Amino acid sequence: MLALGGAAIMPANASVLDKVEELAAEAPSKRLDPALAVLMSDIHICGELKDGKSIRYPYNPTCLELRVKEILAMRPLPANVLVFGDVAWDYGLEEDYRYAAELLRPLEEAGVRVTLGLGNHDRRAAFFKAFPQYTETTPVAGRAVSVVKLPDVDFVMLDSLTEKPDLKPRQSTTVSGTISDEQIEWLKGYLAKSDRPVILGAHHPLNELHNLTKMLVDSPTVAAFIYGHVHIWNKSVSIIRPREPQHMLPTVALPATFYGDIGFAVMRTSPKGAKITYSSKGFWWPQPEENPPKEWKRRSDDLQNEEANILF
């Protein structure tokens, strides 16, 4: 049409095309809801491939791909996706992280910010090599700590990975978690300066992180603690402030993308609090195509309308 129209219509048409391009460029950000975040954990990706497929747990990438497609189908899109550790399948190999990055890339291409935490199957050296940006953004040197600013709350992802010294490349490390003293000191200063509610997260449950639990007794701005590791959705409270009016700290355990409760959680925040809704996609994996065990179906049905509420 431009060729047929000649020079007379070029200026008008050019401005229209410019406007279309401008709107197209703006569209991704306008589809994003900054008050909406997806929380997932324990993706366990094996990056050792044969014929394009993982040689261990080949269904894990399939599960993650399905979860990514489900997130991309959301309207509006969440502005953030947070992954609560165990990004790698077992030993935290560099190729695990590079494959995980490839599987998560469609989210980032859609404008969604992806924040990764570390769990007991991860390794810091390989992780930082695959994701060098975390060495620049972490406020605690040598640890993968992230701060995500949501409209009404700050989210802080702590690093609870406990690595053995002199760990061999294919040697399992400690299953239980810890929060380093350096993270505790940084967090004390961060919370002391914060004038907004804070939600904390880590891979491991709070009952394993004794120094963090002790610190939170005097940290009333912390509104909740979210974790992975157990592969099972669970909402509870920890009574860690017995002398404070708000003595119950809500805790939420996230599902995994495979093996256990399958799915993710969707968190919507407001000035008054946050609602975390579990998006159930089944129980266990791989599931038989026909006649799954009644216990599996019952578990999945029980979780269809599960949600946790956090007050600010």
Distance CA 115, CA 119 (A): 13
The verdict on whether omega for the bond into residue 286 sits within 30 degrees of 0, i.e. cis, is yes
Supply the mean pLDDT for the chain. 89
- Select the more confidently predicted residue: 18 or 49: 49
Residue 202 vs residues 50, 183, 210, 227, 228: alpha-carbon distances, Å? 32, 12, 13, 5, 7
The sign of the torsion formed by the CA atoms of 200, 127, 255, 107 equals positive
Q: Which residues pair with 142 in a beta bridge?
A: none
Give pLDDT tens digits for 241-255: 666 655 689 999 999
Tokens 């940006």 label which residue?
Answer: 133
Least confident of 11-25, 104-118, 224-238: 11-25
Q: How far apart are the first and last CA of the chain?
A: 57
What pLDDT is recorded for position 9? 31
Residues in CB range of 154: below 8 A, 6 or more apart: 147, 148, 194, 196, 197, 198, 199
What pLDDT is recorded for position 4? 31
* Domains delineated in the chain: 31-311 (3.60.21.10)
- Select the more confidently predicted residue: 59 or 240: 59
Distance CA 157, CA 274 (A): 17
What pLDDT is recorded for position 69? 97
What pLDDT is recorded for position 42? 98
Tell me the average pLDDT across 161-185.
91
Distance CA 36, CA 274 (A): 10
The predicted model scores a pTM of 0.88
What pLDDT is recorded for position 306? 96
